[in-house]
Structure 1
Amino acid sequence: MPRGGKKGHKGRGKQFSNPEEIDRQMRLQRKLEENDGAEKESSESDEESSSDEESESRKRSGVEGLIEIENPNRVSQKSKKVTEVDVSAPRELSRREREELEKQKSKENYMKLHLEGKTEQARADLARLAIIKKQREDAAKKREELRKEKEAEEAKAKR
């Protein structure tokens, strides 16, 4: 019977790396890390140089090194120091925040007008309330009349 049962063996056989190959890769990785560390130390000392020099010295991938690209969306975000941040300046609101504020203001304005009875819905509500009030008054009058008639009939029956 073949490996893996009736359906056959799936996948590859296990492959083990040579110890020499692993050592070679480790040495190569250490050399790269040492070179990166040396570059970082030299770049930290040259940090005071202008941003133009930094953009020229950075590695460019693909055709970026051959063609000058002026993409406004590709501006790198520069972090500001705490001393540079102006807290007193008004913060610009995002579109969603502006829309949310406008929505709240319009709702407050509508409620104010509604309480004063100046909106269509408020007028309709007041008219409906007036009709219900009148119906209740009529029903109360009818109940009072029926009660008085009953009392009068009971008084006649006792005599």
Structure 2
Amino acid sequence: NCLAGKKGHKGRGKQFSNPEEIDRQMRAQREMEENGGAEKGSSSESEEESSSDDEKRSGVEGLIEIENPNRVSQKNKKVAEVDVSAPRELSRREREEIEKQKSKERYMKLHLEGKTEQARADLARLAIIKKQREEAAKKRDELRKGKKIVRWYTQPQVSHVTPSGCL
């Protein structure tokens, strides 16, 4: 037996409700509803709606009470309170994203104008490459001209010789 000496629960015993205790609580709740129902009948409708809203929470919200002080609940605003013309506040992520895009655009504009260090380095590199290519082109031209001259001097001068060897 692998589970010998081990307990199946985490440190506390299971607690069962006493049936008499449940019956007593149910009776007390019914009495409260009967007494509270007569009092609520004379009160205004708006009070009933607000108390029923507290009782009628949908889903898990009604079952679990949240005690997180850091939780910010979204408060529904009435249509009269909402100001449509006011600019909507952006979240931190949205602000950072917009700021990042603007800085990227500024950098690209400066880069195209040649005002950034990287652009200057690129332009200097391109100028060096351009000079090297021009020098190489000049050398090729000189070599071609030199080869033409050399060919002209080294070509055998062909005289008109008849096949019999006589002129």
From 10, 22, 46, the counterpart of 1:48: 46
Which residue of structure 1 aligns with residue 111 of structure 2? 114
Give the unaligned 5+ runs of structure 1: 1-34
Distance 2:122 2:134 in 1: 18
Query: What is the count of residue pairs matched by the alignment?
Result: 111
Alignment of 1:92-111 (within 5 A): 92-111=89-108
2:119 paired with 1:157: no
Which residue of structure 1 aligns with residue 74 of structure 2? 77
Distance 1:63 1:137 in 2: 80
Name the aligned partner's letter for residue 100 of structure 1: E
C-alpha RMSD of matched pairs (Å): 4.0
Which residue of structure 1 aligns with residue 120 of structure 2? 123
C-alpha displacement of 1:47: 6.0
TM-score normalized with structure 2 length: 0.52
The percentage of aligned residue pairs carrying the same residue is 69
Distance 2:65 2:153 in 1: 114
- Cα distance, 1:47–1:136 mapped onto 2, change above 3 Å: farther
Which has the larger share of helix?
A: 1
TM-score normalized with structure 1 length: 0.54
2:86 paired with 1:89: yes
From 119, 122, 144, the counterpart of 2:141: 144
Moved over 4 A (4+): 57-64, 71-76, 81-84
- Cα distance, 1:62–1:83 mapped onto 2, change above 3 Å: closer
Distance 2:65 2:104 in 1: 54
C-alpha displacement of 1:156: 1.3
